Chains A and B, each alone.
Chain A
């Protein structure tokens, strides 16, 4: 994608997120490292903490977690940035989903369809694992934060507690000033 260095940040915002959306098998969680790489390391739109904050806000907001792109877009260019980033991230994949949905059912038993489905599962798993790694590195600055992450992981894995309670506990610990 030819993204020219331009005064207008909306153009790279659109270009990067539209491109990214097409490779985000596994959804928002799989695309986090690439978003971080672009927003923090390549384009310097935000710093590490602002990125981690955006992730947290997206997590506590209702709706799809992909809404983090709306926050990044807003940070870069206000309301226009929010709209452009959201459309770029959802538009191409929605059109693709619409086209595939119309033909997919005809190929239910086809071997290539089964292979594609089975083949993409481990790729998306690895990408989501990478997201957890990248986020942990920018969120867990000290031993207490790392302990909260570990405790939440264990509780969420072993029980069916509503995640909002875990976020609330994290917020309380955060407020206490240990992190």
Chain B
């Protein structure tokens, strides 16, 4: 890939590759339960690398791309400031430290996973984590279901039923519903 990326309009500061790596490494180890708030704080509030609007646009793009949002965001952000190298460096910063930590945890789990005490603790954390996920769903659903009548809740319910109740493969459900949903968004908008 060439590195002819147009700089964004209102760059306050242009991070070097090392700064990119450091920033995303800090975001990743701070980001318990979602790195997004930390990424925003770092990029908009602390470093001034993007305005709030630029951040929202870049993140909206990351959100609808397949794959983890924050991982996509690191690639989108890194490529904007440093082309392919910037994307790679931001991604390495984001994934490196958590990968080391989680590999150690995986090793410990493999050694001690059968311990009664550990499995009890994890069962409690899982129950709470599922509750957190339900809260995220509720927050996302609120604006969608609040409109009077709309096609969007039907699509959401169909995706839910297909995957959770019918237990159809995700690629199948996605391949059927995504085009329908996009077509409806096109017609109704």
Contacts and interface: CB of A to CB of B under 8 A. Distances in A.
A61 B102 CA distance: 7
A131 to B, nearest CB: 6
A149 B120 contact: no
Interface string A111-129: 1101111111111111111
A5 B94 CA distance: 34
> How extensive is the interface on chain B, given as a class?
35 or more
> How extensive is the interface on chain A, given as a class?
35 or more
A20 interface: yes
Interface string B44-82: 000000000000010011101111111110011001100
B133 A171 contact: no
Contacts of A53: 109, 113, 119, 122, 126
B31 to A, nearest CB: 6
A52 B182 contact: no
B103 A129 contact: no
Contacts of A122: 144, 151-156, 159, 181
A117 B189 CA distance: 11
B106 A152 contact: no
B174 A23 contact: yes
- What DSSP secondary structure best describes chain B's contact surface? helix
B159 A34 contact: no
Which residue among A27, A66, A148 has the maximum number of chain B CB atoms within 10 Å of its CB? Answer: A27
Contacts of A131: 133
Contacts of A124: 64
Contacts of A54: 109
Interface in B88-118: 91, 94-95, 97-99, 101-103, 105-107, 109-110, 113, 117
Given A52-B123, A65-B34, A93-B67, 6 more contacts: A23-B175, A24-B67, A75-B110, A119-B182, A145-B124, A148-B127
Interface of A: 19-25, 27-31, 33-34, 37, 49-50, 52-67, 70-71, 74-75, 79, 82, 86, 89-90, 92-94, 96-98, 100-102, 104-105, 108, 111-112, 114-136, 139-141, 145-146, 148-157, 162-164, 166-167, 169-175, 177, 179
Interface of B: 1, 5, 28-35, 57, 60-62, 64-72, 75-76, 79-80, 84, 87, 91, 94-95, 97-99, 101-103, 105-107, 109-110, 113, 117, 119-141, 144, 151-160, 162-164, 167, 169-171, 173-175, 177-178, 181-186, 189
26 contacts: A20-B170, A28-B68, A62-B32, A64-B35, A70-B106, A71-B102, A82-B106, A97-B62, A102-B5, A112-B186, A119-B184, A120-B64, A123-B178, A125-B137, A125-B141, A127-B170, A128-B136, A129-B156, A132-B130, A134-B163, A139-B123, A148-B127, A149-B130, A151-B131, A152-B129, A174-B120
Please list the 7 inter-chain residue pairs (A to B) with the smallest Cβ-Cβ separation, ordered nearest first: A174-B124, A126-B159, A63-B98, A152-B131, A93-B67, A170-B128, A119-B182
